[in-house]
Structure 1
Amino acid sequence: MLGLGTGTRLLIFLFCVPPPACPPGTFKAEVSSSGCQPCPAHTLPAPTAAAACPCEDGHFRAPTDPAAAPCTRPPSPPGSVTAVGLGAAVQLRWSPPTDTGGRQDVTYSVTCEQCWPESGECRPCDGGVRYSQPPRGLAGTGVTVTDLEPHVNYTFTVEARNGVSSFSAHRSVATASISVNQTEPPRVTSVSLDGRTATSLVLSWTVPLRQQSRVWKYEVTYSKKVDENSYSVLRCEGASVTIPKLSPATAYVVRVQALTQDGHGAFSPEHEFETLPEGAESMASAAVISGSVTGVLFVVLLLAALIYVLRRRRSSRSRQSPEDVYFSKSADQLKPLKTYVDPHTYEDPNQAMLKFTTEISPSSITRQKVIGAGEFGEVYKGTLKRGKKEVPVAIKTLKVGYTEKQRVDFLSEASIMGQFCHHNIIRLEGVVSKYKPFMIIT
């Protein structure tokens, strides 16, 4: 048996002895051969063998801060907050806080409160107020606020935050108030085609709901697309107009602006609409008559099918047990009899539509040209994209400004068609009910 010399045993002993623990007031973040470090600024003296030094009261350490970094605190409030009115807009400006809390990651958040002087009611600003950039996490020291209402007092609160603000209950805020006494005229947001003939266009448009009462009149400017330098102007009081005395099969460019006692609003984006070819009205009338006749025949067929089913069920009850089923004449397999369900029996027509139809994405539908008009709106020739294949379809649309009854009847028609699959009946491909305009694809 070999023995170990005294020198060898001493060497082994030195390697096995752990390094001494860090004394109070110092720390070592991880086990290493490096020495202990003194506690950084704004920390309390650490106990013996500490991995970090605790922060002083009111100071904090962010999760990403290393143990050797000083503890920091939230910034002081922003300085010199000003609000300058520019019509219906307000420019907010402020200065950085005098004390950043020892950090460089200061950002700003802006909130808004509106008050009505007559009633004294105050509440947070509604969603109609617009900011030139997102009002949370702002790196700069300014923002522009638009779409403000006239004769309303606004108070804007600017809060300075840094990486440790979430650990403190104290908020570093400064405010500025301003009264907006004027606003920009409302802007027309969209223009829609409600109807057309060979010599006229029927148009309607919308403005923000809260600004409709301020509109005095609307001004409609239109011109032929081929000659936009020569234009005509119509004035009307309502949010719709019929433009007469147009040329058949001609594209027109239309813009609409709102007029108020304060002045003219900005023009809407340009919209292009085309009149029908000459003689298209008679074709459309024939299509309406043909569609009406087809609709009557379709309803008669449905009623006949319903009466047949009811009689068949009554006669079968007396000679069949509840377990009996009908045999299919076209196959040697059992197939239950399918019963027609009137969608009007549903309390919510949407439930019938969900049960008997398929929702189609508008992005897979292409409308090519108008081929007729019906009770609910125009009918287009178009295509339906199925994977890499495009199928020719007829697209029936629900016109703008529909009533609730028209919407229900439109959806019910789709629910009726969706229950039939026969080569003598027009096949329903699906519906568009989650986007406008509503469409039935056949």
Structure 2
Amino acid sequence: MNTKTETSDLRWTIFSRAKPEWEEVSGLDEENNSVRIYQICQTDSSSSHWLRSGFIQRLAASQVYVELRFTMMECSSTSTHHRSCKETFNVYYYQADTDEATATYPPWMENPYTKVDTVAADFLLSKGGERKFNVKTFRVGPLSQRGFYLAFQAQGACMALLSVRVFFKKCPPLVSALSSFPETVPRTLVQQAQGVCVEHAAQQGLRPRPPKLFCGEDGQWVGQPMMSCACLPGFEAADGQTRCAACPVGHFKASTEGKCTSCPRFSQATIRGASLCACHAGYLRSEADPPDSPCTKPPSAPRSIVPQINDTTLSLEWNEPLDNGGRTDLSYAVGCSVCRSPKGACIPCGDSVSYRPPQDQLQGRRVEVWGLLPHTTYTFTIQALNGVSQYSTKDPASDSVNITTSHDAWVDIYNCGAICAVPSLVSVIRKSDSTESSLTLHWSVPTQLHYTVLLYQLRYCEKVRTFPRFSPWRTPVLTELRRATRYEVQVRARTMAGYGSFSPFTVLNPPRCYHFTYISLLLFLSHGSAGLYFTGVKVYIDPFTYEDPNEAVREFAKEIDVSFVKIEEVIGAGEFGEVCRGRLRVPGKKENYVAIKTLKGGYTEKQRRDFLSEASIMGQFQHPNIIHLEGIITASCPVMILTEFMENGALDSFLRLNDSQFTPIQLVGMQRGIASGMKYLAEMSYVHRDLAARNILINSNLVCKVSDFGLSRFLQENSSDPTYTSSLGGKIPIRWTAPEAIAFRKFTSASDVWSYGIVMWEVMSFGERPYWDMSNQDVINAIEQDYRLPPPPDCPTHLHQLMLDCWQKDRSARPRFSDLVSALDKLIRNPASLKIVAQEGSGLSYPLLDQRAPLALSPCTAVGEWLRAIKMERYEDSFLQAGFNSVDQLAPISTQDLLHMGVTLAGHQRKILSSIQTMTFRNKSAATVTF
């Protein structure tokens, strides 16, 4: 509204109990334009004289500004100067949804009107003085209804209201940082505005969020928008980040980052906005090649194959191709065809011929071949391959050589291998040395052999924790054996003709072999070298049993070049240093986010070894519900461990943050994933020892993965973390640990099952602390008295029963993880079973507690005092109206009772019920029967 622009009478409402009244007249403004003016000159301040505007629409504003232009006579210059003369007036406003005001409504008084201010003039008019007018601006609000009225009250003033202007401020439309923001009206001191990405741009990041900017109350944009938008592939930012322009012909942009660049060699882009340059005819790009790599082609054929017969082997050597196709990933493949007769067809050799190294993916230019038949013609073909050979429509370039075998000494070996059995070459095994935990063995073989011994295979009973380490040929050392334990040992030899039979059993120490678990260990002896080869089921290998722990790191963890890693932000702190989020981009692979654990400076060699031991453990696991190790960085500082990045972090804090946001079937899905990961670890004979929701990570798809494989360190070192309490010289997470593990350090897969039951309870209670605020000693005492955690609110009966099964005192009675996975699968396939809700007191609960004792729940005697102690005092009236006057009456309260009392928030329900459960348990513990 602006009265200066009005050309007809304003006709505002006037109210006065005495003369004079506000009077509407025509006048001239400072620019001599005709305007409508309201004026009044009072002779008495004993009565109020009101002037009220018409109904003003609020529109989109939550607060408005009022600009007043007025003149005021000084009291000393009025002809009727009196003591009650005033040089001020009052401004009010009144809100309404409709134009409802009348001559008598609302009442002409300060309430229901809202006072804005008492206005004093800066310039006063005097007789014969300069004509000056005053300008005052006020903020009115907050406004919540559809419109309002302005009212002016004079009580003894002689003044003229020259003009009234009402307006609000807004931030204009803005395009910046590839984001477009609409016109925004500030409703608070700083109003957040949400924008959209400009055309050909999109939000970026793992968790994309719309661009945001803030509009100040003065109608000005505050700061700069965050760069959350990026131009799509094929487009780049232009005109000061206000639009995305298409890449010109001959240029491309493959991702949302960077600018358009020229096409790499042997490729082209024939249209605007290209995200990839197409290869020229005859050139290719592999799936692993980044888009900015040049196009290449398959290599030419290898050259000059040279066959050589040496003792019992055929070796083939060749020269590299003249043209590698423009690539460095050159490899070779060896093919073999056999022609059994001059006129017959040639066929592939198949498994009858052996190669060392294997015939495919050869990096060198030499291969050894054995297993050939006498009087036979073979054709060996050497193919040259690189990363694009598989995409070519043409056969790989190759060269070949023909070999015809004769009847000589090296052929006789294979001939015998085909028609006769290999005799036993090892007869007697002797113990040449021994200690408390190791044995050194020795055996002899015939001095005249027609066979070359390639390796020996040793097997013995009594399952061991690690692989034995062998000393030189025919004298292996079996280490880390158990004292006072008997072993049976057999050895057999392998030649080119195959395996011989095992030697007779040799008993080392008196026989006590109650079961026979064979571990096959092969000792390679060809070319005078010794090595190890393991056959059988994959099991976990403790990295601390290696003579050199760095060897375990090299074996199980891949070294990553530090240049491939970009650290973006610190997201936490670990035992050894900071935990960061970063990006890993290995050439030829897709970039992905990773979590990075760093080893802080000034570490000792032991700290470095302990830090990397977790990678040695994690690197042995490959399962969708086990955190995946990407690799390690040890060649530069700081030392780092890289794992896959889990967007939602630790499960316990994620559940607390999303309290009551998931359905039972979703929660069961999380539990099923954890059980599946633990089943895999159990099958590998790995015991976790620290299974808890804090050590479960969850990604954006709600997939849970077991992590934190470092409790072995806690069991050896002191820790300031109150979660881990000393027990028998080590640190143990009491609330999650089975009683036999606390008392006797008996950590097994069964003790992990107990911990899994606690994790189930954590999931169903949305991250509640197990056993609430009980001390660790109280928890130990309670478990000994057969107390078990009650079902969380709304917990399905079947799930609580599974928890109770996991908490069986007899560890042999607990289910295995495979049983738990099957049980959870059945629940997922039958969602109706999750609607049966467990009630506290069902199943194993308080069997040793004397129920005859009175239940004095808390030192707080009054309900109000108790509610204030747990910060739930808002519900005091509801409890009192429901008849709960004393805390002694609270024990039977259920979720349904709380709903009837108006406690509708799930988090508040859980807090109240948990407090009651804690008080109930303490009371029952105090009333335990003494035996």
TM surpasses 0.5:
no
Higher RCO, 1 vs 2 (CA within 8 Å, ≥6 residues apart) = 1
CA radius of gyration, larger in: 2
Q: TM-score, normalised by structure 1?
A: 0.44
Q: TM-score, normalised by structure 2?
A: 0.22
